[in-house]
Each structure stands twice: as structure tokens, then as C-alpha cells.
Structure 1
Amino acid sequence: MAALFSGAVYGASTIAAGVYLPSTIINQFKFQDWHMLQTSLGAVASSAYGYVKLKPRSSSPIGLFGQYDGNVIGGFLLGAGMALSGSCPGTLFAQVGAGLRTGFYTLGGAILGGLAYTGYVAQAAKTQREKAGVQPETVTLDENLGLSNDTTVALFESVCLSIIGASVAYTTGSDWSIFSAGGGLFIGLSQLFSILVRRSMIGISGSFEEVGNHFWWLTRDAPWPTSRQNTLFAVGMTSGAWVLAKAFPSFVKGHVVETEPLLAGVGGFLMIVGSRLAGGCPSGHGVSGLSLMSTSSLVTMSTAFAAGSLVAPLFH
């Protein structure tokens, strides 16, 4: 029940923050609307303030070209998938809850991505990792910079707030209403709720890995999957988004620009394979990982943003 409640709060927060719209994600990658970045950095900054004592995220090495090669490759696929679909592993559940067609097509592709990852990609990555003899490492930004944790967090907060301020002052296309201004805070508070209720930070892409594990258990006689918490979180997220959209219709835009079904499906597939290779998605790495000063999260999300910025103008 804790996972369901936490997911419901996060789903409602995503709708309230206004980052569930496909156009918001796509236009951010095209540098035409800065709402997604503003909200994301606000969520990270509000999370980093209180959660620095939890365990940071480790790297996701594959053994091809460095300790963070899985984060780079996975981040690239994640960003490309987000740019194609106008969604992400977390917002797609909010899109489904709000009744957006894009969310359903992206969900279909994402489920196939989860099946592909658990059935083939994960084993191939494991084989390559063992062949190369590499192991995940947990390194934080303060360790890389040679600074204290408190100093690094303060610098990180300053950078986040500076980027938010600059994007508001010097760009156009952002609907800087009271809800967009507090959008990041909504998500940051849902992070706090998740920690208090289920002793875990936010992360959503693992739900597709759980679905894949159950599928292969049924079809290949694979071991019985023991984890379903991420799937319950995803169900809760969809429910929370649906409830808020029905209770407060003003949160849902009247006219929504949907993504083409093929792009949404392919994007969903790519972003799930990528997020699992990288060990997390914009929720797990972007909100949770960066708030813990995880180097792997910075590598993943920087690569994802760069990839999305390359792909979005080509297809939209």
C-alpha cells in the first residue's frame, strides 16, 4: 500500500507541475519552452536540501569504454526516446491517467522495451561486464571535486537556482504561473512523502523491468520475480494523475498536441532500454540521483539532455 500511495502522490504532483504534456518535453529539447528544465531543477534542488544522507547511485558499467559507459549509452537512448515520444518513463503514467493518447502508445513501446531488456539486453550487458571485469562504483560529486558534501550541495543548489533564474529572465515560451513556479516543489514534496512512507526515493523505470521479469517467468520458466514495488508505484502514479485530473480539470490543458503513434511507440521502447542500461530514468537519476550528488546521475542526465536536443529538431 505504501508504494501505491507514494505513486499516487507523485502522479498528482506531475499533473500539478504541468510536465506531463508531450509538447512541454519536446519543446524543451528544442529550447522553445523551458518549463521542463525549470521544474526538474526545482525538484532536484528541493530534494537535495534534505536527502543528502541517503546512499547515492552507483555507476552502470558495461565494459566497453569506461566506468560510465552504460550511463552514457543508456542516457543517449533515454534522451532520444524522450524526444521522439514527448514522454519519459514517469510522465507516461501521468499521461495515461490524464487520458492522453500519447501515453498509451508510449506505454506499449515501453512494455516492449522492458521485455527486450530483461529477455536479451540485460544478459548481453552482464556478459560483457564480466568479460571486461568491471564493477559498479559509487562516486559522488563532492568526491570528484575534492570538496565537503555541504559545500558541494550548496554549490549545486546555487547552480540549479541560477539556471532557473536565467531561463526565466532571458528566455520566452515559459508559462511562469504560480503552478509552474512551484512545480518542482510539488515533485520535491512527493519525494519526501515517498521516503517517509516507504523508505525509498522516487524511481519508476524499474516497473518495466518487473513486468519483463514476470513475462519471462511465464514464458521461459524463469525464476519467480520477487519484486513488484515499482509496478505498484506505477499503478499508484496513474491513479493519482487520474484523480487530480478529474477533481481539478483546470490542471489539464484543453488542447493537447499529441505525438504521432509510431514516434511514441519507438520512443517508449528506446527510453526503457536506455534507462535500465543506465540504472535509472529522469525520476531515479534526475530527481533522486542528482539530489544525492551522484556522479552517475549527472553523466546519465547530461547525456540524455544532449541526445534529446539532437533528436527533437529532426522529428518534430
Structure 2
Amino acid sequence: MSSLVSEYAAGTLFGSALFAAGVFAPSTIVAQMRLEDFTMAKAMLGASATSALVVHLADSTGFSAMKPRTPQSVGYFPYDGNILGGAMIGVGMALTGACPGTVFVQAGAGLPSGIFVLGGGILGGLLFVSAQPSIAKLRQGRSNSKSTAELTIPKSMGVSPWLVLAMWEILCFGMLQLLSGFEGPGKQGLVSPVIGGLLIGTAQACAIALTRHTVGTSGAFEDVGRWLRNALSGDASKGPITASVMFDCGIMSASALLARFLLPAAAAQASSNLVSPAVAVVGGAVMAFGSRLAGGCTSGHGISGLATFSWASLISVGSMFAAGILTAALR
């Protein structure tokens, strides 16, 4: 029980940071994919730089072992699951104006499209657990899908992780300087995107202190989907209350309180005009399925995974934004 409380507390801190940064707004996420607003990119860069420092301090001091995200395969070649799953997340983001983490902020804040995306995400989780046996069978039948390469950039290059960390911090700072000239259409959050990113990284530190692991939000879709599948099969003995579900409940709770008391106009944003219910449900299902196929989402890969310099996360995030930008351009 205490571990579930810790997950919930960590979720409230993470949700508060996402809300404060303003990256939950559907218009902001869609504009990012259209390369019209770089609020999301700025926040992610700030969060990644902070998280990388936090993760390596926790790992090097022995406080907790920070495991990198592992390659995901559907059976054809190494990382094909990361590529396909990441692309599905990007498509879903461009269609819905949400990601597997911010959808919980949107739903908690009462944004209409977010509630439909969340419903689609649960459907996507159900579809994924139903497809798992087929994916596992395909993977087992193809030996060339197994990767023997090192999981992280420092290990594969044979260099110190602290050297890579220093280079990563410089890269993130340089990218933030480059993007500083690109201003969005208006302030969506309580703080600037960069400060919001620092808050997200701080929430990462708190999450590690409370739970001994990095943040991730998409596992709840799989957990709830598995419970629904079992319930539909007549076995509802084990409820859907897992660590991932409690973490995301914390995000929703914090967002609901902040939307009510600090930013009451959040629910009035034009998300319903931006995303129709049908598109929100379909896009949410695609996004959630992809997040589980890739083994992570914008939080698990984009904030936590990149902080460990995982190749799987780098490939997944690249696929997300490539597919999202392409989808936005074709709409």
C-alpha cells in the first residue's frame, strides 16, 4: 500500500509540473508538430537536461540503479518496435493534440478532447494486450530481431557517461538558445516553457526519491487493458489498481485542482474545435497501442529514457516527432 501511495504522490508532482509548463494544451502540441510553436520542445529540452543530471547522480551514488529503456522488436529487426511504436505515438499526437502523459492532465483539467483521448487510450491498451500473443509469436520466430548491442550511448562508444552527460547538457542548452527566438502564439502555462521543463526535471528527482525509478505514464493503458480483457473473460478477481495507474491518477488529481484554482480558463481552451470526439478516440487508441509497442512514450522515452542515454529512447523519440510532423503536414 505504501508503494502505491508513493506512486500517487510522485504522480501529483509530475502532473503539477506538466500543467505549470503548459505542455498539456492540445493547441500547443498540434502547433509543435506543425513547427509553429516550440513550447513543447523547449519544455522537453529543459526536462531532459535536468533529468539527465538527476538520473546520473542517483545512479552513481548508488541511491538507485537507473535502468535504460530496452530495445523493442516485433520480429523483423532490432528496434523495429521502437520505430513503429514511436511513429504511432507521433501520429496520435498530431491527430489528438495529446500524448500518453498529457492526456491525463487534459482529462483532469476537464478538456473535452482529453476525456475522449483517454477513452481511446484505454481501448488501445485493450487492443495491445489482445495482440501480445501474436507479437510474441512473431518475435520468437525471427532470430534476427534480437539485438546484442549495448543499450546506451556511453557503453556502445566506450566513453564515460559523465562525458556524454556534459555533452548532452551543452546540446540541450544550445538547442534552447536556438529556439529562444521562436515564440508561440501566447502563454499557455503558469510559467515559461524552460522553467516548466526544470520543474518537470525536479518532479523526476522527487519521483526517483519516492519510488526508486524514473517516470513513465503509458503503462497504465496496458494495465487497465489487461484488467478489461480478464473481466470480459469472466475473471475480474484482480483489480486495475497498479503502480502505473496510481501514478496517472496522481497526475489527474493535481491537474484537476490546478485547473480549478489557478488556471480556471484551462477547460475553456478550444480543444473541442481542434479535435472531434471520433478523431480523439481513434488517435488515442493508436497512441496508446504505439506507446506499449515502443515500451514507452514521451515521458518514459522522451524525459526518462533520453536521460539514461538509451538508444531505444533516442530512436523512439526520433520516430515520434518524424511521424507527428509528417502527419501534421498532411492534414
Q: TM-score, normalised by structure 2?
A: 0.89
Match of 1:111 among 115, 119, 122: 122
Q: Retained in 2: the 8 A contact 1:79–1:308?
A: yes
| 1:50 paired residue number | 54
Pairwise CA distance, 1:50: 1.9
The RMSD of aligned alpha carbons is 2.0
Match of 2:22 among 10, 18, 41: 18
Write the distance in 2 (CA, Å) between the matches of 1:251 and 1:296. Answer: 38
Write the distance in 2 (CA, Å) between the matches of 1:182 and 1:286. Answer: 17
Pairwise CA distance, 1:253: 7.4
Q: Retained in 2: the 8 A contact 1:78–1:304?
A: yes
* C-alpha spacing 1:118/1:215, structure 2 compared with 1 (3 Å): same
Q: Which amino acid aligns with 2:91?
A: A
What are the residue-to-residue correspondences of 1:1-316 with 2, within 5 Å?
A: 1-52=5-56, 53=59, 54-64=66-76, 66-120=77-131, 122-133=132-143, 134-135=145-146, 139-169=151-181, 171-173=182-184, 175=186, 178-220=191-233, 224=238, 228-249=242-263, 252=266, 255-258=269-272, 259-315=275-331
Write the distance in 2 (CA, Å) between the matches of 1:253 and 1:224. Answer: 34
Q: Retained in 2: the 8 A contact 1:15–1:251?
A: no
Pairwise CA distance, 1:146: 3.5
- Identical-residue share of aligned pairs (%): 36
* C-alpha spacing 1:250/1:185, structure 2 compared with 1 (3 Å): farther
> The residue matched to 1:32 in structure 2 has which SS?
coil
- Count of residue pairs the alignment pairs up: 312
Deviations 1:152-190 (A, max 9, x none): 111111111111110113x34265784323010111111
* C-alpha spacing 1:261/1:227, structure 2 compared with 1 (3 Å): closer
Pairwise CA distance, 1:135: 4.2
Q: Which amino acid aligns with 1:114?
A: G
Q: TM-score, normalised by structure 1?
A: 0.93
Deviations 1:224-255 (A, max 9, x none): 57971101111111001111122212683754
Gaps of 5+ in 2: 60-65
Q: Which amino acid aligns with 2:171?
A: V
Write the distance in 2 (CA, Å) between the matches of 1:145 and 1:167. Answer: 29
Q: Which amino acid aligns with 2:88?
A: L
Gaps of 5+ in 1: none
* C-alpha spacing 1:225/1:141, structure 2 compared with 1 (3 Å): farther
Write the distance in 1 (CA, Å) between the matches of 2:246 and 2:183. Answer: 38
Q: Retained in 2: the 8 A contact 1:204–1:230?
A: yes
